[in-house]
Amino acid sequence: MVELDGAVATVELELYGAVAVVTINRPHARNAISLDTMGELEKTLDAAQGARALVITGAGDRAFVSGGDLKELAALRTHEEAAEMARRMRGVCDRIADFPAPVIAALNGHALGGGAEIAVAADIRVAAEGIRIGFNQVSLEIMPAWGGAERLATLVGPGRALLLAGAGRILDAGEAERLGLVDLVLPRAEFADGWRQLAASLANRPAASIKRVVRGVSAQEAVDAFAELWVADEHWEAAEQVLRRRP
191-215 mean pLDDT: 92
In this prediction, residues 2-24 reach a mean pLDDT of: 84
Residue 31 has φ and ψ, to the nearest 5°, of: 55, 30
Instruction: Indicate the SS3 state at residue 57.
Output: strand
Residue count of the chain: 247
146-197 pLDDT tens trace:
999 999 999 999 999 999 999 999 999 999 999 999 999 999 999 999 999 9
pLDDT of 4 reads: 58
Whether residue 57 is predicted with pLDDT greater than 50 in this model: the reply is yes
Please, where are the H alpha helices in 58-203? Answer: 70-73, 79-98, 114-121, 148-156, 158-167, 173-179, 188-202
* 60 Rama sector, left if φ>0, alpha if ψ -120 to 50, beta otherwise: left
The reply to whether CATH 3.90.226.10 applies to domain 11-202 is: yes
Closest of 140, 2, 125 to residue 64, by C-alpha: 125
pLDDT of amino acid 1: 64
In this model, does residue 115 exceed pLDDT 70?
Answer: yes
Q: Is the CB of residue 30 less than 8 Å from the CB of residue 17? A: no
Which of 59, 50, 47 lies closest to 23 in space, CA to CA? 59
Residue 123, pLDDT score: 98
- Report the Cα–Cα distance between both ends of the chain, in Å, rounded: 47
pLDDT for 6: 46
Rounded mean pLDDT, 202-216: 87
Residue 7 pLDDT:
55
Of 21 and 241, more confident = 21
For residues 210-219, average pLDDT:
83
% of residues, the chain, pLDDT over 90 = 79
Residue 5, pLDDT > 80, answer no
Residue 133 has pLDDT above 90, yes or no: yes
Domain range annotation of the chain: 11-202, 217-245
Strand stretches in the chain, DSSP E: 11-16, 19-24, 53-58, 63-65, 103-107, 110-112, 124-128, 132-134, 170-172, 184-186
Q: Confirm if 84 and 35 have CB atoms less than 8 A apart.
A: no
Q: What is the pLDDT of residue 214?
A: 84
pLDDT confidence band for 222 (50 / 70 / 90): confident
